Amino acid sequence: MQRIGVFVCHCGTNIAGTVDVKAVAEALKTEPGVVFSTDYQYMCSQAGQDIIKKAIAEYNLTGIVVCSCSPRMHEATFRKTAAAAGLNPYMVEIANIREQCSWVHKEVPIGTEKAIILAKAAVAKVNLNAPLTPGESPVTKRALVIGGGIAGIQTALDIADAGFPVDIVETKPTIGGKMAQLDKTFPTLDCAACILTPKMVDVAQNDKIRVFSYSEVTEVGGFVGNFEVTIKRRARYVKEDICTGCGLCTEKCPQKKVPNEFNLGMDNRSAIYIPFAQAVPKVATIDPNHCMKLKTGKCGVCSKVCTAGAIDYEAKDEFVKEKYGAIVVATGFNPISMEKFDEFAYSQSKDVITSLELERLMNAAGPTGGTLLRPSDHEHPHTIVFVQCVGSRCEACAEKGKEYCSKICCMYTAKHAMLIRDKYPDTEVYVFYIDVRTPGKNFDEFYRRAVEEYGVHYIKGMVGKVSPEGNKLKVQGSDLIYGRQLHIDADLVVLAAAIEPDKSARPLATMLTASMDTNDFFTEAHPKLRPVESPTAGVFLSGTCQGPKDIPETVSQAGAAASKVIGLLCKDKLTGNPCVAHSDEMMCNGCSTCEKVCPYGAISYVDKEFRMPDRTTKVRRVAVVNEAVCQGCGACTVACMSGAMDLKGFMNKQIMAEVDAICK
């Protein structure tokens, strides 16, 4: 029989406000196995932990139940407390009477009753607990960064700086991401290329960093410290190691009518292309959808002009398998499609553009060489209307927009407005906004400068309709402060499109078994205390894949993710989880179902001799679990119809005992 101690935490008023903690401690005193029961204001504090340690010694406890917050929060804390007092840490059970009880109930009698039931269930489980000892697993000292934007670049550089090899996988032919497309950056107005491209060069020159550009992750196996990842290197039809990036092929290529995605389709590129002059790796890529040689077999100009002999029309997709200790997700964002926002006439007029398109139009390396010209007639626009929150904070229009704030639009619009007024003082700039949100160092000052020094017309209210008429865009909007309708004849309308996670994130999250929110942003392990870690061990988050962020925030988060990775890769061994599966070979019938559902390949089969009751010997095929590989997910235990497979620490009979205690 166990000797169990029950410790009920008040959590200040978090629990004690809705649960009569004294009554819980009292009620548990008579449960089978319980020899001691008490309550305290903050069980996780030094004083609270001392109460537990003292009770373990004084009452000779063999198991403890802490009625407190979620085990995600403090299970590890109390396990350490138990270990310090000489008790096996796996003899500790947490009854979650905060998140699953006091926080969801309002009335004390109901909260108290439920807290008692949850505590009884935990006691019923501890009665069946057995001491467990964790094993160890090695750590592969290499990191994978998925996404080569500023987030991925910074994370990779920081990890490499600590001496660990890093691979970057980027779907585009070059790293750089969205930042490479930007013109200037707020709030200091330094040019994006000037601060980004040196980092890209650092990546290229760092011998610890490998860049798999034009590639994607197709399969992820394994677990923290021991991931096994398959990377698909899409055929670029140019040998990366031979191409010098001279660009002659892109000049001679006869197919020059391919919309240039780097300039968001506002000009054309050739079928063989280098996305931009500072691309890393600086090698050409053949677009198989437009290359005449690949489509019809006729052409081959690039191959003829290439002095290095880098062109390879026969190239095939290649698959690389590599082991990693940690994975950083940095898949970034895209502006949402404006197709559904008919009221702003985006599909009808070339002069209704998104803010990212405006970045390209103002960029010296963009389609207009940095002179702001209307896409339709290449004239200087004299009246420009910015529309904020297009698809952001869009509760009513959830089908086309997003409920969240995209966070960066207020600041970049202030930047655009300011830059335009600075360069073209004869241009009138109007900004329609719901709110202007400028928290951040020097952000509000920046916005006020746009209004006060640069004379940008900020109008609180939304644009109702944009209608193209002749070469003008008739903008109808409401001015909520003056309570009037405004009609503006604009030359250019710029939409601050909401941003959304890249479409590759969802399938990637599935491969990584990392959780996402309803908007497909990756979920962090704890919003405050573990913001750069995914709940899946060994998977870290960097940049906008986790939520909308500007560049300063992205870079700091990228560094934080890198430091977490470094902390992991520094370890030679990881302490495993002793809650692993175990097969009862007398019950196992060798059907292979568990092997099929095991995501870690931890189960194999052996033929084993069994002595039968009639003294004969029988050879049977039975399952064997590799405890070093098993991650304790429990998939096998539910798939096993014989009930042979069980999970240590979460045995079927323990769970049934909990259920019984709750239903009693």
Q: How far is the CB of 392 from other proteins (least distance, A)?
A: 27
Residue 644 in contact with other proteins, rule: CB under 8 A: yes
Closest by CA position to 140, among listed 222, 205, 231: 222
Torsion sign (Cα): 378, 381, 385, 388: positive
Q: How far is the CB of 542 from other proteins (least distance, A)?
A: 24
Residue 218 in contact with other proteins, rule: CB under 8 A: no
Helix, strand, coil percent values for the chain (each to nearest 5):
30, 25, 45
**Closer Cβ to other proteins, 593 or 626, answer by number:** 593
The SS3 assignment for 52 reads: helix
**Across-strand partners of 39?**
8
Near other proteins by CB under 8 A: residue from 95, 200, 488, 588? 588
Near other proteins by CB under 8 A: residue from 380, 621, 628, 662? 621
Span from 62-70, 213-221, 430-438, 590-598 in contact with other proteins (CB under 8 A): 590-598
Question: What is the size of the binding site for other proteins (CB under 8 A)?
Answer: 24
Distance from C-alpha of 352 to C-alpha of 349, rounded to nearest angstrom: 6
Distance from C-alpha of 502 to C-alpha of 505, rounded to nearest angstrom: 6
The DSSP code for 167 is E
**Closer Cβ to other proteins, 289 or 518, answer by number:** 518
Near other proteins by CB under 8 A: residue from 597, 600, 608, 650? 597
Helix (H) or strand (E) holding 331: none
**Closer Cβ to other proteins, 380 or 653, answer by number:** 653
Q: How far is the CB of 157 from other proteins (least distance, A)?
A: 32
Burial class (CB in 10 A: 0-12, 13-18, 19+), 277: exposed
Near other proteins by CB under 8 A: residue from 242, 481, 641, 662? 641
Q: How far is the CB of 327 from other proteins (least distance, A)?
A: 18
Near other proteins by CB under 8 A: residue from 517, 592, 601, 628? 592
The DSSP-derived string for 259-326 is: E-GGGTTSSEE-SEE-SSTT-SS---EE-TTT-HHHHHS---HHHHH-SS--B-TT---EEEEEEESE
Span from 207-215, 445-453, 567-575, 641-649 in contact with other proteins (CB under 8 A): 641-649
Near other proteins by CB under 8 A: residue from 256, 517, 653, 662? 653
Residue 642 in contact with other proteins, rule: CB under 8 A: yes
Near other proteins by CB under 8 A: residue from 477, 590, 632, 634? 590
Torsion sign (Cα): 324, 328, 329, 330: negative
Q: How far is the CB of 660 from other proteins (least distance, A)?
A: 9
Q: How far is the CB of 594 from other proteins (least distance, A)?
A: 9
> Helix 551-569 to helix 150-161 angle, to the nearest 10 degrees?
40
Residue 634 in contact with other proteins, rule: CB under 8 A: no
Residue 591 in contact with other proteins, rule: CB under 8 A: yes
Q: How far is the CB of 219 from other proteins (least distance, A)?
A: 11
Torsion sign (Cα): 114, 115, 117, 122: positive
Q: How far is the CB of 5 from other proteins (least distance, A)?
A: 27
Residue 604 in contact with other proteins, rule: CB under 8 A: no
Residue 656 in contact with other proteins, rule: CB under 8 A: yes
Subset of residues 505 to 544 that bind other proteins, contact rule: CB under 8 A: 507, 510
Place of tokens 């049934």: 656
> Helix 443-452 to helix 409-423 angle, to the nearest 10 degrees?
40
Q: How far is the CB of 641 from other proteins (least distance, A)?
A: 4
Span from 188-196, 314-322, 433-441, 649-657 in contact with other proteins (CB under 8 A): 649-657
Q: How far is the CB of 34 from other proteins (least distance, A)?
A: 23
**Closer Cβ to other proteins, 242 or 638, answer by number:** 638
Q: Are 232 and 215 in contact (CB under 8 A)?
A: yes
Place of tokens 């990212």: 356
Closest by CA position to 501, among listed 97, 67, 151, 31: 151
Distance from C-alpha of 545 to C-alpha of 156, rounded to nearest angstrom: 16
Near other proteins by CB under 8 A: residue from 448, 517, 596, 662? 596
Residue 589 in contact with other proteins, rule: CB under 8 A: yes
Q: Are 77 and 44 in contact (CB under 8 A)?
A: yes
Distance from C-alpha of 262 to C-alpha of 664, rounded to nearest angstrom: 65
Give me the residues that bind other proteins (CB under 8 A), please: 507, 510, 586-593, 596-597, 605, 618, 620-621, 639, 641-644, 652-653, 656
